[in-house]
Amino acid sequence: MRHFPKGFVMSSDRVLVVIGRTRHKMVVAELQEAVKRGAKFVELRLDFLAKAVDFKRLTPLKQCPWVATLRRPSDGGRYNGTEPERMMILRQAIVSGAFEWVDLETDIAGSVPRFGPVKRIISYHNTTETPANLEEIYAAMLDQDGDVYKVAVAAHTTDDVARVIQLQRSAPKPTVAFCMGDLGQPTRFLSLKFGAPWIYAAFNKERGIAPGLPSFDEFRTTYPVKSISADTKVYGVVGDPVGHSLSPLLHNHMYKKLGVDALYLPFRVLRGQLGPALEAYEKIPVHGYSVTIPHKEAAAALAREAEPNVQVTGAANTLVRRDDGKFVAANTDYAAATESLKAHLVDRAKGGPVTQLSQLSVLLLGAGGVARSVAFSLHREGAQITITSRTYERAQRLAEDVKCKAVDWHARHNVTFDVLINCTPVGMHPNVDESPCHFSVLKPGTIVFDTIYTPETTLLIREALARGCDTITGVDMFVRQAARQIELFTGLLPDVTVMRQIMRKALSPLTKAFEENEGGDVPHPEPPKADDE
């Protein structure tokens, strides 16, 4: 059941945009720009201001409802004055006529009487933990005179996340409950699915307003918060780290284009905690996961069923929920790399005889999750493989499993090859001036395949092009494996060409806005982290 406060008109995008600046002039500038970009509900963090605010000077700028918030350091704020002074400023804000809403912490709400039409958010913030008595704290808040109740706590385990989701899900009054930090970031979006009247967003994410607070632009580029409902299916990427993954952007855009009511989220899960996490998120439920480091082997082991390529590689990058709640494991990386290579060989043949992978020698850089899938897939095609890794023991173990050759990292430049495949993170943003090999080994006609997709044109790819090599970028493999995941999740075939266009826009200086009319350009998301070696 969705709860809306009495007399409150929901903004069309369900986003409460938070503005926190130290100078009045910058507050004015961000207020104007936020409305220009479509903000319909704004929270002013008065505790960020270096000087006392003149509410009369702000009032003429109003173009949408405002929330007044003056947060103490103990609650995650920056106000450094005395408590009597803070209470006086809050009362002034309430009677000023500038604000439709005021945020009052639960311990002071009883000391600030309701005034006129100003609505009240009763809030509880805990920036250090999810307290054992959180449910008791929330029950006491519900007895206070509020229009909306806000609970924001720090999560350290998936059990913390599950508790907050359950609190939101069973809320008897309008409530916004979520966990701060990247571990709990999914709860910010799931609160909308389970009845929250709005979601918080930072107009300027770099201001450090709250841990894990998403930016307003992310809702325009990546997350379709306008359409989230109780019926929305949930998918996500699980790993550590996942905060910079472009998978949410790509999947959410494709679900929209396919007409699927679904939301794809990043789920950070610590190493060794995949099992408990899947159990904790059963009640949401999450219908499917993309799996990245360090959980690919664990995903394969936990699944009730597994596709043959999972059994071969011992790793899974996809989990699909069955009707009985158990998971089927797949490895879409397995075929994606060889499909990219085969497509390139067909294009290179230009209608003539196509070179087969079995005719090629491959030098594989790396021995991690992606390298493992690529190695087994190439071995099946009959390619002659040599594996090298910065940790020789890992390369040797993988080579023994695949039944191919391994060489020491320092000897990689002595290997003769037709195809070079980089499965290490060397050259990935922000270390874009690095390369996993010396450019002297890049001979004209050699195929150079870099599985990194941020940036798409890595230093390795750039130098390979300059030396007359054929190149394949990580975007192609990333899109192919994601397309197969979407098919497994939804039963629908996505348009791979459209997916490539979305990725290239996301990786360019500007990316298309995620709005109903798909109009306007906004800054692109932060580049994602790649799979480690």
Q: Would you please indicate which residues are annotated as catalytic (active-site) residues?
A: 125, 150, 296, 333
Are 109 and 145 in contact by the 8 Å Cβ rule? The answer is: yes
3-state SS track over 327-362: EEEECHHHHHHHHHHHHHHHHHHCCCCCCCHHHCEE
β-bridge partners, 261: none
Tokens of 126: 């805990």
**What DSSP state is assigned to residue 528?**
P
Residue given tokens 């409305």 in the structure block: 35
Q: How far apart are CA 269 and CA 160, in angstroms?
A: 12
Query: Is 268 strand, coil or helix?
Result: strand
Q: How far apart are CA 242 and CA 135, in angstroms?
A: 29
Selection from 64, 9, 53, 1 nearest residue 27 by Cα: 53
Q: How buried is residue 488: exposed, middle or buried, by Cβ count under 10 Å (0-12/13-18/19+)?
A: middle
Contacts of 463 (CB under 8 A, 6+ apart): 435, 439, 442
Q: How far apart are CA 524 and CA 393, in angstroms?
A: 39
Sign of CA dihedral 308, 314, 316, 322: positive
